[in-house]
Structure 1
Amino acid sequence: MTSDASTGNAPGQREPWRDIVARYRTTHTLKSLAQVANTFPLYFALLYLMCLVLSHSYWWTLALSPMAAALLVRIAVILHDCGHGSFFRSRRANDALGTFCGFLAFVPYHQWRKAHALHHATSGDLDRRGVGDVPTLTVREYLGRSRWGRLRYRMFRSPAFYLGAGPTLLLLVGQRLVNPSSGSTERRSVHCTNAVFAGVIALTWWTGTLTAFLLVYGPVLLLSSTALVYLFYVQHQFENTYWERRERWDYFTAAVRGSSFLQLPSLLRWCTANLGYHHVHHLSSRIPNYALRRCHDENPIFHQATVITLRSSLRSLRLRLWDEDQQRLVDVSAAGPAMRAAPHGSSPLKAGVDGLP
């Protein structure tokens, strides 16, 4: 599930990029261990400091929470790399560390890994939406919904929900549920993670520290979850992204054109472990995070990716529909002229998409 997809490529396009990315797939254990050493101790030290200052002033605890959340984002990216098998050479080591990272973020590692692998295999494919992606309707599908259905979609895709209540619901509800397609390994992962979650709550309640735990860890989880949702959103939801029907879908184009190159300041690039080089990662998920930047810089094929900055990414938040005619992501208001142009009494194409509200 972690190998690169191989379907949909033109014969003349496939081999050059495969030869290029193969040079960067080598995993260096010492580099991976260095990332563990410069991340986890600092994270736990910050949590300890937040607990110490809690009795003096909660404002000091809150002031430290963004730094701890940034480190938890980095831990989540390490989980992500373990899921792709790019962090360690040993699958057992990847699964052990990935599971531990999942416990810290309350994310069921094995279920997440399966859903994310499906996302990589189907990203940009209009006929295979609904698993591990941001729910997206085409203009025709949107117009084919009832007035209530369109309102519900707009509310779901609004920044207020997607970056407000959305991350909290995903953490407290979405990550606690077993996916219908999950196998026994994924189900055990969910149950074990839920048991850890319940165990922590029970232990802190029994020791009288539940309130302190929620005050310290709650903001860290909320901030990190929101940041991760935002990162995932802007990596594929931008105006000139790529969506295509199955028969015309191409893996190379979906990776390089359908994934953004998110340029971040050095500190944020460290916190996200080079996740901004998402176009490189989608082309070859086995490239370790510390090799993504070098792979991008040394090979012109990656320079065609759409560059997104933190400022320009804000514009993407209002783009919610895929226009198949214009081949771009558009605002909901763009559906208005199409609705008015439709003959009276006619109904645009109706299409159900799994996973959409």
Structure 2
Amino acid sequence: MPSDASTVSDSRAQSRDWRARTQRSVVQLVGCVGAYVLLAGASYVFFAQSLVGGVALAVLAGVVLVRVFILQHDCAHRSLFQRPVTNDRVGVVLGMLTLAPHAYWRAMHLVHHSTSGDLDRRGVGDIVTMTAQEYLALKPSQRLRYRLYRHPAVLLGVGPIFQFLLRFRMPGIVAKERRPERRSILVTNLALVAVHLAFLALGDWPRWLVVHLIITQVAAGLGIWLFFVQHQVERPYWVPRAQWSLKGSALQGSSHLVLPRAFEWLFGAINLHHVHHLKPQIPNYLLRGYMEQHGLAEEGVKLGLRDSVRAFRLKVYDEATGRMTGFPPVHAGQARTPLASPPSIEPTGQLGRVLTFSGEER
């Protein structure tokens, strides 16, 4: 029988098999950022000659920016490179392109990984989801706000623009004691001011602004769509904190969005979201290999493209049936049941402790 030492050694060797490959990560980084800069620059130039050509190139730049964001997402998990400091520094630069301040977004996202599917700890880094009981207990004005928040036109249109262009610019969304997160917002803002001042001084700023808005809308809209369908499924994993587990959250509460391989590559295999939540330390380009080697291809909540569109009909979680449903009917004179505070739709200014998937703060 193998000794304990050899078992531990084999386990470490297997873990190393799924760590970042520096050369492969650098190729992805240079290729994606280079393609984005070229497309954004070409769109700016073409707009002076052809509106159609300029818009088409801006749309393509927005699609590629989603791929850049996936690289930043890997940096947030410190999985794109083996050295944590390299991930952090690269993530800061990528955040200047994606408009998502890296340290702040990383903190929010790690909370999401630690609480996804936890009924008692919703609301940080997530699409806000209320239970049917919570929804019915709201005042009419609050129900209207929640209905607007969950409308596809807001989630994919107004919401992304608000989130990336406005909300991510506000240091006040983070508690004062969380200095790295506040600093990341300020540094990203300074970089954006520098770019816009350069166009004001040396270029055609209105033309650049139009290009910038199109790119942001396309990239943010696609990104929110991907994020939405990763956890908004008809039979979700929602349990009280005492029953929550990482494996259950990953394999029962995260989707496996089946996409053509070209789209899977374009979106950095984030459609294999069940694998990512199970092993967030694995870089995007190794997720499919890990899934196939470990027999996870049939795991996760499987969705097709049509299912991903239908997911926007899901509005609240019905605890009685364990299903996501549309808005429940509100009967006239219906009494409101006293509840613990439901998740707020308002941006939060408090992050609390930032947890990684392992439950450790880092």
What's the secondary structure of 2:93's corresponding residue?
A: helix
What's the secondary structure of 1:26's corresponding residue?
A: coil
**1:171-211 per-position Cα deviation (integer Å, ceiling 9, x unaligned):** 12221123334611111100011111222222212224211
Residue in structure 2 matching 1:188, options 139, 163, 183 = 183
| CA distance in structure 2 between the partners assigned to 1:299 and 1:20 by the alignment | 15
Summarize the Cα distance change of 1:82–1:265 in structure 2 as closer, same or farther, 3 Å threshold: same
Cα displacement (A) at 1:37: 3.1
Judge conservation of contact 1:106–1:171 (CA < 8 Å) in 2: yes
Residue in structure 1 matching 2:202, options 181, 199, 207 = 207
| CA distance in structure 2 between the partners assigned to 1:72 and 1:64 by the alignment | 12
| CA distance in structure 1 between the partners assigned to 2:166 and 2:40 by the alignment | 24
Residue 311 (str. 1) matches residue 306 (str. 2):
yes
Residue in structure 2 matching 1:348, options 314, 317, 337 = 337
Give TM-score scaled by structure 2 length. 0.87
| CA distance in structure 2 between the partners assigned to 1:158 and 1:235 by the alignment | 17
- Give the fraction of aligned pairs with identical amino acids, expressed as a percent: 34
* Partner AA of 2:169 in structure 1: R
What's the secondary structure of 1:307's corresponding residue?
A: strand
| CA distance in structure 2 between the partners assigned to 1:216 and 1:251 by the alignment | 41
Residue 40 (str. 1) matches residue 40 (str. 2):
no
What's the secondary structure of 1:322's corresponding residue?
A: strand
Q: Unaligned stretches of 5+ in structure 1?
A: 1-17
Judge conservation of contact 1:24–1:295 (CA < 8 Å) in 2: no
Residue 133 (str. 1) matches residue 126 (str. 2):
yes
Alignment of 1:41-60 (within 5 A): 41-60=34-53
Judge conservation of contact 2:20–2:79 (CA < 8 Å) in 1: yes
Cα displacement (A) at 1:64: 1.4
| CA distance in structure 2 between the partners assigned to 1:355 and 1:147 by the alignment | 15
Give TM-score scaled by structure 1 length. 0.88
Cα displacement (A) at 1:20: 12
What's the secondary structure of 1:325's corresponding residue?
A: coil
Alignment of 1:138-217 (within 5 A): 138-178=131-171, 179-181=173-175, 183-217=178-212
* Partner AA of 1:236 in structure 2: H
| CA distance in structure 1 between the partners assigned to 2:303 and 2:114 by the alignment | 23
Which residue is equivalent to 2:271?
276
Which residue is equivalent to 1:28?
21
Give the number of the structure with larger relative contact order, counting CA–CA contacts within 8 Å between residues 6 or more apart: 1
Alignment of 1:213-252 (within 5 A): 213-252=208-247
Which residue is equivalent to 2:355?
none
Aligned length, in residue pairs: 335
Which residue is equivalent to 2:71?
78
Q: Unaligned stretches of 5+ in structure 2?
A: 1-10, 347-362
What's the secondary structure of 2:182's corresponding residue?
A: helix
Which residue is equivalent to 2:86?
93
Alignment of 1:253-332 (within 5 A): 253-301=248-296, 303-332=298-327
Judge conservation of contact 1:122–1:128 (CA < 8 Å) in 2: yes
What's the secondary structure of 2:253's corresponding residue?
A: coil
Cα displacement (A) at 1:119: 0.4
| CA distance in structure 2 between the partners assigned to 1:282 and 1:62 by the alignment | 35
**1:232-287 per-position Cα deviation (integer Å, ceiling 9, x unaligned):** 00101110121111122222111111110011222221211111111001011101
More moved, 298-307 vs 196-205: 298-307
| CA distance in structure 2 between the partners assigned to 1:347 and 1:109 by the alignment | 41
| CA distance in structure 2 between the partners assigned to 1:21 and 1:132 by the alignment | 31
Summarize the Cα distance change of 1:324–1:204 in structure 2 as closer, same or farther, 3 Å threshold: same
| CA distance in structure 2 between the partners assigned to 1:118 and 1:24 by the alignment | 27
| CA distance in structure 1 between the partners assigned to 2:62 and 2:113 by the alignment | 26
| CA distance in structure 2 between the partners assigned to 1:345 and 1:310 by the alignment | 38
| CA distance in structure 2 between the partners assigned to 1:20 and 1:350 by the alignment | 49
Summarize the Cα distance change of 1:23–1:216 in structure 2 as closer, same or farther, 3 Å threshold: same
| CA distance in structure 1 between the partners assigned to 2:269 and 2:116 by the alignment | 20
Judge conservation of contact 1:66–1:220 (CA < 8 Å) in 2: yes
Summarize the Cα distance change of 1:59–1:148 in structure 2 as closer, same or farther, 3 Å threshold: same
Judge conservation of contact 1:24–1:287 (CA < 8 Å) in 2: no
